[in-house]
């Protein structure tokens, strides 16, 4: 996992359809989309996944589903992002198969150590900073925590939580392989320009 990673939040899209925000971000060159619909009913969640699928497939960008292996399976998504209280990683891998992209959130050092022996595709280092988007999190890792995980972990690291164009460079320099954003794209006045700005910033360091 490398590049700009968009986590969706329909409620933060300023009334615009999620498909249009995602299509803008895809045009701008993002690397991955995670559909996160914490408050959606099952069928709405599934329908959002089915609506995003062709946009992402045609661009060769993976669609990951937050939490729900059943939605990922039913929508034919490329994988899931799991929190520590979601389906255990091994069960998700068994159900989704070896080709699926499976990421796992790490919120404590114990999580990081436990993940070392798993063949997860990436760790979601969460949260880097305090963020209003997600309030049920552990204390933030900060840049130092991210750097410590980088020094220890064998996994690709997706940093998330309070990230935007202003701090993306520092995040990548601290060791993130991927910068995940929610409102920095979803709530941007111009999602394409905001995503393009992040992608350019990321590319400048490669």
Selected catalytic residue, list 68, 93, 105, 153? 105
For the question of residue 153 being annotated catalytic, the response is no
Helices (H), 17-160: 18-27, 42-59, 69-75, 89-96, 109-115, 142-152
For the question of residue 105 being annotated catalytic, the response is yes
Site for its own copies in 37-66 (CB under 8 A): 41-43, 46
b/e code 77-108 from CB counts within 10 Å (16+ = b): bbbbbbbbebbebeebbeebeeebbbbbbbbe
Q: Which residues contact 143 (CB under 8 A, 6 or more apart)?
A: 128, 170, 171, 174
Could you tell me how many residues of this chain bind its own copies (CB under 8 A)? 17
Binding mask 59-98 toward its own copies (x if CB under 8 A, else -) reads: --------xxxx--xx----------xxxx--xx--x---
Quote the least distance from Cβ 41 to its own copies, whole Å. 6
Which residues here bind its own copies, judged by CB under 8 A? 41-43, 46, 67-70, 73-74, 85-88, 91-92, 95
Residues with catalytic function: 36, 105, 134
């Amino acid at each position: 996992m490398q590049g700009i990673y968009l986590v969706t939040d329909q409620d933060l899209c300023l009334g615009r359809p999620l498909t249009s925000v995602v299509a803008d971000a895809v045009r701008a060159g993002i690397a991955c989309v995670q559909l996160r619909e914490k408050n959606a009913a099952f069928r709405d969640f599934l329908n959002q996944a089915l609506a995003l699928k062709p946009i992402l497939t045609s661009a060769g960008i993976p669609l990951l589903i937050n939490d729900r292996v059943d939605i990922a399976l039913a929508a034919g998504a490329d994988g899931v992002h799991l929190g520590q209280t979601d389906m255990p990683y091994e069960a998700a891998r068994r159900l989704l198969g070896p080709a699926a992209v499976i990421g796992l959130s790490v919120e404590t050092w114990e999580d990081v150590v436990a993940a070392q022996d798993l063949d997860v595709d990436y760790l979601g280092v969460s949260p880097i900073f305090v963020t209003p988007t997600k309030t049920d999190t552990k204390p933030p890792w900060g840049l130092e925590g991210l750097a410590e995980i980088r020094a220890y972990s064998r996994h690709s690291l997706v940093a998330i939580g309070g990230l935007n164009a202003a701090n993306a460079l520092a995040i990548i320099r601290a060791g993130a392989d991927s910068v995940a954003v929610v409102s920095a794209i979803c709530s941007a006045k111009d999602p394409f320009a905001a995503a393009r700005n992040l992608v350019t910033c990321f590319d400048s360091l490669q």
